[in-house]
């Protein structure tokens, strides 16, 4: 049972002393105090099915016993020393991590957050190419540090200071909301509930070439000599509401960048570690091998851990001056990372993500076919997005107040969902990969009740 201070006391402290930048999702804050695999428990002992997995951090589920065991063992042995000495875990972990990666991705830098990983990737790309300008996608999210705030392609996360110097954002190849997506071209529907199919790549949009012209023009017009240092992209946009790209886009974009001598960076912070089901790494679904991969979130199952992996050639640029990160590669973090990775492979979470995720997508596709308020259902494996709208044919985003009523109603029924997208009108469904088919049935039933109640409220107006 919860034995902490009462909510009133926490609210007082929060108001007086805790960072005012922190925002709460629900109008009445949810006080969580325990987690067990796919479930979270509030201070009154109510259980919730967690479809947001601590912002996509826990792939294995909260408090996985094998991770606890490894962390406890390491905590009792040695937490930290400088990496100027040897500790075994950083070596064992680096080996295990590169064993999951293709090509010449052989050098691991351990850091502590996704923003830090992308900061480092940006630094390496600039140093290695001797160029400054980089390209990322509008609506992408790569972090909130001064460097990565620039890479992030959404004004919602930007402050009025000179971030993004030398960074160019290209038109987002968004099959649902983009210029050449479903509603201006042909309707795009990758989750075909009636046919029982989730199409490969999740995307049937064939507008790649139009979006690639945008990239080409951006390089020609905005980047000095048309030669970028790098191109950054998530394999599926996460914070941006699970946006997949039209078929073939990423592969061709990589080719375009490489033709001009730039490096390709895959931000796998959300899509890595089996999240997309068919592959262990999201980029594998696009048939590409990046030059630099950044990863965080699922890598530590909730423990603050992140990494950059690159080729020995690119890595060598960072040995020309001193480079150091106090906590990067500490014994405890490496032991946790190793236990998480081993357990993910042992329990084959990737297969589960594919199987349960596909069923989930198809059930959500039925909701889209049933309710005019569901505009789009998309994703791969357990990386799922569900976009709510005022009108299915115009794609007008659902009014935020109406959206929040549905989100809060789901919480009242014991279901936690993430919220995302530029318009804040999408559910982000990225649960711990241990969820079962019964959990899926429960989630879909709750959503059906909430969407029905919303429909009735609309009819009464």
Residues that bind ligand PMP (CB under 6 A): 113-115, 118, 141-143, 234, 238-239, 267, 269-270, 296
Q: Where are the alpha helices (DSSP H) in 132-179?
A: 146-151
Residues 43, 69 contacting (CB under 8 angstroms): no
Q: Which is nearer to ligand PMP, 305 or 388 (CB)?
A: 305
**Strand positions, DSSP E, 80-144:** 107-111, 134-137
How does strand 230-234 pair with strand 263-267? parallel
112/338 Cα distance (integer angstroms): 15
435/329 Cα distance (integer angstroms): 30
Q: Could you say which DSSP state residue 28 is in? A: S
Residues 189, 204 contacting (CB under 8 angstroms): yes
342/71 Cα distance (integer angstroms): 13
Q: Report the run of H or E that residue 385 belongs to, with start and end.
A: strand 383-388
> Reduced to 3 states, what is the DSSP secondary structure of residue 195?
coil
Residue in the shown chain whose Cβ atom is closest to ligand PMP: 114
80/144 Cα distance (integer angstroms): 27
Question: Structure tokens of 186?
Answer: 């042909």
369/353 Cα distance (integer angstroms): 23
**Strand positions, DSSP E, 142-229:** 167-170, 191-192, 197-198
CA distance to 243, 280, 435, per residue, from 354 (Å): 18, 10, 12
Q: Which is nearer to ligand PMP, 113 or 207 (CB)?
A: 113
How far out from the chain centre does Cα 352 lie?
18
Q: Which residues pair with 309 in a beta bridge?
A: 108, 293
Q: Which is nearer to ligand PMP, 234 or 454 (CB)?
A: 234
383/285 Cα distance (integer angstroms): 13
Residues 406, 388 contacting (CB under 8 angstroms): yes
Residues 417, 134 contacting (CB under 8 angstroms): no
Residue with structure tokens 């065991």?
Answer: 69
Q: Which is nearer to ligand PMP, 70 or 239 (CB)?
A: 239
């Amino acid at each position: 049972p919860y034995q902490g201070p009462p909510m009133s006391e926490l609210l007082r402290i929060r108001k007086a002393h805790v960072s005012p930048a922190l925002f709460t999702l629900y109008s009445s804050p949810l006080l969580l105090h325990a987690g067990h695999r796919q479930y979270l428990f509030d201070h009154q002992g109510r259980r919730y099915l967690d479809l947001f997995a601590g912002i996509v951090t826990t792939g294995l589920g909260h408090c996985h016993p094998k991770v606890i065991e490894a962390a406890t063992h390491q905590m009792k042995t040695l937490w930290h020393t400088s990496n100027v000495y040897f500790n075994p875990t950083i070596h064992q972990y680096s080996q295990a991590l590169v064993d999951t990666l293709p090509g010449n991705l052989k050098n691991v830098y351990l850091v502590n957050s996704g923003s830090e990983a992308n900061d480092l990737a940006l630094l390496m790309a600039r140093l290695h190419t001797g160029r400054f300008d980089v390209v990322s996608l509008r609506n992408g999210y790569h972090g909130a540090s001064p460097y990565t705030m620039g890479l992030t392609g959404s004004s919602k996360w930007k402050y009025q200071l000179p971030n993004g110097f030398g960074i160019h954002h290209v038109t987002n190849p968004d099959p649902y909301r983009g210029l050449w997506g479903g509603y201006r071209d042909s309707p795009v529907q990758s989750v075909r509930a009636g046919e029982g199919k989730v199409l490969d790549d999740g995307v049937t949009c064939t507008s790649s070439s139009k979006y690639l012209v945008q990239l080409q023009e951006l390089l020609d017009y905005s980047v000095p000599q048309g030669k970028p240092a790098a191109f950054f992209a998530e394999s599926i946009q996460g914070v941006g509401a699970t946006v997949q790209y039209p078929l073939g886009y990423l592969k061709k974009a990589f080719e375009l960048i490489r033709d001009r001598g730039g490096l390709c960076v895959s931000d796998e912070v959300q899509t890595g570690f089996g999240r997309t089901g068919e592959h262990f790494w999201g980029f594998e679904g696009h048939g590409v091998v990046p030059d630099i991969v950044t990863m965080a979130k699922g890598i530590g199952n909730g423990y603050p851990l992140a990494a950059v992996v690159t080729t020995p050639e690119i890595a060598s640029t960072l040995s020309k001056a001193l480079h150091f990160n106090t906590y990067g590669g500490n014994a405890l973090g490496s032991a946790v990372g190793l236990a998480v990775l081993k357990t993910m492979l042992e329990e084959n979470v990737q297969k589960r993500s594919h199987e349960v995720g596909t069923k989930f997508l198809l059930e959500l596709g039925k909701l889209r076919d049933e309710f005019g308020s569901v505009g789009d259902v998309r994703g791969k494996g357990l990386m799922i997005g569900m976009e709510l709208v005022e009108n299915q044919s115009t794609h007008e985003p659902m009014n935020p107040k109406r959206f929040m009523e549905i989100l809060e109603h789901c919480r009242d029924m014991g279901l936690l969902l993430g919220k995302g997208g530029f318009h804040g009108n999408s559910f982000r469904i990225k649960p711990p990969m241990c969820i079962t088919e019964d959990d899926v049935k429960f989630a879909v039933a709750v959503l059906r009740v909430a969407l029905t109640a919303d429909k009735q409220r609309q009819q009464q107006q």
